[in-house]
Amino acid sequence: HRKVTKICCIGAGYVGGPTCAVIALKNTHIIVTIVDVNPTRIAAWNSDSLPIYEPGLDAVVKECRGRNLFFSTDVDKGILEADLIFVSVNTPTKTQGVGAGYAADLGYVEAATRRVAEVATGDKIVVEKSTVPCRTAQSMRVILEANSRPGIHFDILSNPEFLAEGTAISDLMCPDRVLIGSLDTPAGRSAAASLADVYAGWVPRNQIITMNLWSSELSKLAANAMLAQRISSINALSAICEATGADIDEVSYACGLDSRIGPKFLKASVGFGGSCFQKDILNLVYLSESLHLPEVAAYWKQVVEFNEHQKKRFLHRIITCLFNTLTAKKITLLGFAFKADTGDTRESPAITLAKYLRAERAHITIYDPQVTEDQIWLDLSEPGVVDDIESLKKQVTICNNKYEACEGADAVVVCTEWKEFKMQKDPADTRGMDWTRVYEKMKKPAFVFDGRLILDVHRMEEIGFQLESIGRPGKGFRRSKDWE
Ligand code: NAD
Ligand code: UDX
């Protein structure tokens, strides 16, 4: 099989950037060029402040950039020179037309594929890195073959990415597995072997798995659906805990000790967020419906529906505890990112919560250590509503100091599990939070709603707080049945 010496990655996003930076780090003999149509993003990749926050990423980029890692807006040149091309563009949920709200919008994948077909003057291995519905590789092949110069051969591989944001670099350095799907033909197997060599630069061979294209494509949707399903399962149980006196962390611990279940992805929360889980499940739902499998579709759909319900349940608990009205009350949201260690807010439960709180006419103050102010305004404003920002600013304040954010608050809501919101170990521990200081400046009774189970109820109550955590019955929580 062919040795890969030049790689081009189309799409310099959360996946393309870190993945290809690590490929460059571990394969000094391969020239890696990451291209994108967005000039601002490329400029940021070429600057000292990278477009995404990811622990460890800066060091990797610093080491390779200019050596064998390049970022460019020249998509055509990248394609022309490469022998292997990753397609790592966004595949958001369609917002209109057939399948709106479920199906993946494959417009960006198709545009990138067409570009490859038009520009290529030699044989290429084209690798589907984006998460796509099962059988997309087939569409890519038709597009490539119908639009390319005569005599040029394309091999298409599926190589889904399993990194999670916030731990992208360590996930890439030590992946559980690398999946490569190819056609079961000599050419297909040879292309898969070429890509396997790239990963073998640092991943043990027995963790590089090859399989058929369609299995590989479906495995990515399946893995995300199963991970999200665990969270919805534990969150559904959290509701039972709140109503009975059981503690969800204890239930999760007990279940996780069963080696058949395992402890990971069983942390109850205000709901899962992120750009993948919801999108990929809806994608699977749409795929199932298209295949005339309505029961399969309904089964997976419930995972997303319960996630929405979990956010509403949490809001309802806030309202009930705060004497059934939030009007003009100051509610502080600690954390806006969809999880800790990322500045990404896509599908963050904090967005939904802030919108619900706005509808209750609360005054909202938001603090997050990584999310930019512009991003928060963008997430909270309704697209296309011109005067929205002005009315938004009357109700929402963004604060860059966590203690100031909590001053005078009726309630503090922990939305993201940032370490800096955990209780400090001792007064010298500047990485944690001095909750006594927060308590002193809050309205009384001082409510804290822990949507991430990071705070200890006894220690918080000792300070004087009324702590209401997901999956634990709270002191002031009177059961109410009037949410949906
Ligand atoms: P992203 O939006 O951060 O990045 C995609 C980039 O592609 C954008 O910068 C966009 O400008 C660029 N792009 C779009 N069309 C292009 C074109 N025709 N030519 C050149 N550039 C183009 O998206 P992401 O989070 O990196 O996700 C990419 C894919 O990877 C998605 O399919 C996603 O489902 C999948 N994925 C994401 C994650 C994650 O944690 N974010 C994890 C695994 C898989
Ligand atoms: C996910 C998959 O984990 C990853 O393999 C895939 O490549 C992309 O999608 P990501 O969305 O970046 O990664 O983060 P993840 O750690 O999976 O968290 C997703 C959401 O679930 C977050 O909002 C997180 O807070 C929440 N979560 C996670 C829980 O509520 N409980 C858990 O036990 C784990």
- Domain match, 292 and 178 both: no
385 & 300 share domain = yes
413 and 305 together in one domain = yes
**Distance in Å, CA 477 to ligand 1 centroid:** 42
Q: What mean pLDDT do residues 12-39 have?
A: 98
| pLDDT value for 430 | 86
pLDDT at 391: 85
- Which of 84-88, 285-289, 389-393, 456-460 shows the lowest mean pLDDT across its residues? 389-393
User: Closest Cα to residue 470, out of 239, 262, 306, 292?
Assistant: 239
pLDDT greater at residue 483 or residue 252: 252
Model confidence band, residue 483 (pLDDT cutoffs 50, 70, 90)? very low
What is the reported pLDDT for 389?
Answer: 82
Residue 219 lies in a domain: no
Confidence class for position 476, pLDDT limits 50, 70, 90: low
Cβ 92 under 6 angstroms from ligand 1: no
Strand order in the sheet with 396-398: 396-398, 363-367, 330-334, 411-414, 447-450, 466-469
Cβ atoms of 369 and 418 closer than 8 Å: yes
Ligand 1 and 88: CB distance under 6 A = yes
Amino acid 472: pLDDT: 95
* Cβ proximity of 35 and 12 under 8 Å: yes
Question: Is there a catalytic annotation at residue 9?
Answer: no
Examine residue 225 and state whether it is found in any structural domain, yes or no. no
Q: Which tens digits make up the pLDDT trace of 324-373?
A: 999 999 999 999 999 999 999 999 999 999 999 999 999 999 999 999 99
pLDDT digits (tens, 9 = 90+) for 271-282: 999 999 999 999
> What percentage of the chain carries pLDDT values higher than 70?
98
Dihedral (C-alpha) 214, 215, 220, 223: value to the nearest 10 degrees?
A: 150
Reported as a single tens digit per residue, the pLDDT across 404-414 is 999 999 999 99
Q: Is residue 211 part of a domain?
A: no
What single-letter amino acid sits at 2?
R
**Co-location of 256 and 190 in the same domain:** no
| Both structure tokens of 252 | 């999760």
When divided into structural domains, the chain yields a total of 2
Which residue's entry shows tokens 């005054």? Answer: 363
**Does residue 165 have its Cβ closer than 6 Å to ligand 1?**
yes
Same domain, 146 and 261: no
In a domain, 483, yes or no: no
Binding residues: 11-16, 36, 41, 89-93, 130-131, 161-165, 220-224, 260, 267-273, 276-279, 338-339, 346, 452
**Per-residue pLDDT, 426:** 87
Range with lowest mean pLDDT among 34-43, 386-395, 429-438: 386-395
Residue 153 inside a domain? The answer is: yes
Which pLDDT value is given to residue 478? 42
pLDDT for residue 77 is more than 50: yes
Q: What does the block give as tokens for 338?
A: 């969809």
ipTM above 0.90, yes or no: yes
Q: Are residues 179 and 286 in the same domain?
A: no
Instruction: Specify the range with the lowest mean pLDDT, choosing from 3-12, 92-101, 444-453.
Output: 92-101
- Nearest CA to 164 among 337, 307, 397? 337
pLDDT mean across residues, the chain: 95
Residue 21 beta carbon below 6 angstroms from any ligand 2 atom: no
Each residue of 91-131: pLDDT tens digit?
999 999 999 998 899 999 999 999 999 999 999 999 999 99
Residue 404 to residue 165: CA distance in whole angstroms: 28
Give the range of the structural domain holding residue 148, as residue numbers without chain letter. 6-203
Residues 341 and 406 in one domain: yes
- The domain boundary residue, chosen from 146, 175, 203: 203
Q: Which atom of ligand 2 is nearest to the CA of 168?
A: 12
Mean pLDDT along residues 147-160 = 95
Instruction: State residue 137's pLDDT score.
Output: 95
Q: Tell me the two tokens of residue 112.
A: 């990138």
- Please report, for the domain that includes residue 74, its CATH number: 3.40.50.720
Q: Beta-carbon neighbour count of residue 37 at 10 Å?
A: 16
pLDDT of 108 reads 96
pLDDT at res. 90? 95
Domain assignment of residue 236, yes or no: no
Q: From its phi and psi, is residue 262 left (phi > 0), alpha (psi between -120 and 50) or beta?
A: left
pLDDT for 22: 98
Q: Could you tell me if 295 and 439 lie in one domain?
A: yes
Per-residue pLDDT at 480 exceeds 70: no
Is residue 484 predicted with pLDDT exceeding 50? Answer: no
Options 20, 64, 241, 276, the catalytic residue = 276
CA of 150 to the centre of ligand 2 (A): 44
Indicate if 259 and 186 belong to the same structural domain.
Answer: no
pLDDT, one tens digit per residue, over 159-215 is: 999 999 999 999 999 999 999 999 999 999 999 999 999 999 999 999 999 999 999
User: Are the C-beta atoms of 238 and 270 separated by less than 8 Å?
Assistant: no
DSSP 349-401: HHHHHHHHHHHTT-EEEEE-SSS-HHHHHHHHSPTT-TTHHHHHHHHEEE-S-
Q: Are residues 308 and 417 in the same domain?
A: yes
306 shares its domain with 186? no
Residues 165 and 42 in one domain: yes
In a domain, 245, yes or no: no
- pLDDT of res. 481: 47
Structural domain contains residue 123: yes
